[in-house]
Structure 1
């Protein structure tokens, strides 16, 4: 079991859902905060020096021109050898109408994401596929591991 876990989201509704899921699974000792990744003052100052940061279905809702800024905000909370794992929606024929239009989310190509992560200061960016039997999720999105 990891030493400590922290989680944040911008919306109270998502935090309530997360708390409910933690409670149902009897998972304790997760610190939760309502915060915006683009507002570094919103997260507790002690939240940092991480080995691993995971972000899922969050960056699609940042303004496109601030994507690198959001990535940088999390990179600065990593240890020098820490890893950032990102699950994010890819732009394709399926996600444009379902996620782009319906959910008003920004969608990205592999090249756009790689450039944004490099602009944020990550020096190593690796794209992976979902494992079997979840390979079908690759139609939805990317798994990306980025390192300082």
Structure 2
């Protein structure tokens, strides 16, 4: 996409098609299953969903926390598309879900977020970074990194580049697709010292044909080892 305005137009026109598509491939269930096995969830943690859309990833994380007996803390989300946010807010009201605050914002203009939206333990971003031009992807990733706490982690769900995604995601959804090595390079340039790639668990492994799960941490592997070596 050449501009975020085109992403807004696309998801305003195709919001229902998007929901049908992700539900058909069990994308929300796959995200929740991943987080049910993730070491990144903890009690009362601060979570931000960057590009929350209709709340698919936000609610998947919340569901995973509750399934593990973890009480969700503050959960925030932002998206650039008003129609998607309206659907998200409507679903929250219908399901009587509290503790989630969402606003309209652009990942390339994070200064418009509320002042208190800082020091997150976990930032998630699902199927949003594909709509940032490659020339500005490092800028977007750096901006999200600035919102993390000292030991926070960014988890990206992002489209991988292969023949299937070029046809289905690239052409139909006008999204950028990336290789493993490209994502590593972008995240390192954004300042993340520790980058690992996760995977969707069974029975959602088919989602790995679509995309990567990338975990980018503020803390390097060496720092983690040093912390474990400290005397108690």
Say whether the fold is shared (TM-score over 0.5).
yes
TM-score by structure 2 length?
0.62
Q: When you count helix as a share of all residues, which structure comes out higher? A: 2
2:164 and 2:128 mapped to 1: Cα distance? 19
Structure 2 distance, partners of 1:106, 1:73, is 19
Residue 146 of structure 2 is aligned to residue 76 of structure 1: yes
Aligned partner of 2:13 in structure 1 is: none
Report the equivalent of 1:12.
82
Superposed CA offset, 1:93-125 (max 9, x none): 111011111111111111111110110000001
Q: Following superposition of structure 1 onto structure 2, how do residues 19-34 of structure 1 map, counting pairs within 5 Å?
A: 19-34=89-104
Segments of structure 1 that go 5 or more residues without pairing to the other structure are none
Q: Is the Cα contact below 8 Å between 2:121 and 2:149 reproduced in 1? A: yes
Q: How many equivalent residue pairs?
A: 148
Q: Which runs of 4+ in 1 moved over 2 A?
A: 20-26
On the 8 A contact 2:126/2:156 being kept in 1, the answer is yes
Partner of 2:197: 127
Q: Distance in 1 between matches of 2:159 and 2:171?
A: 13
In the TM superposition, what is the alpha-carbon distance from 1:16 to its structure 2 partner?
1.5
Q: Report what 2:163 is aligned to.
A: 93
Residue 138 of structure 1: aligned partner = 208
1:103 is aligned to 2:173:
yes
Residue 37 of structure 1 deviates from its aligned partner by: 0.6
Report which of the two has the higher share of strand. 1
Distance 2:211 2:116 in 1: 31
Please tell me the root mean square deviation across aligned C-alpha atoms, in Å. Answer: 1.0
Unmatched tracts of structure 2, length 5 or more: 1-70, 219-232
| TM-score normalised according to structure 1 size | 0.96
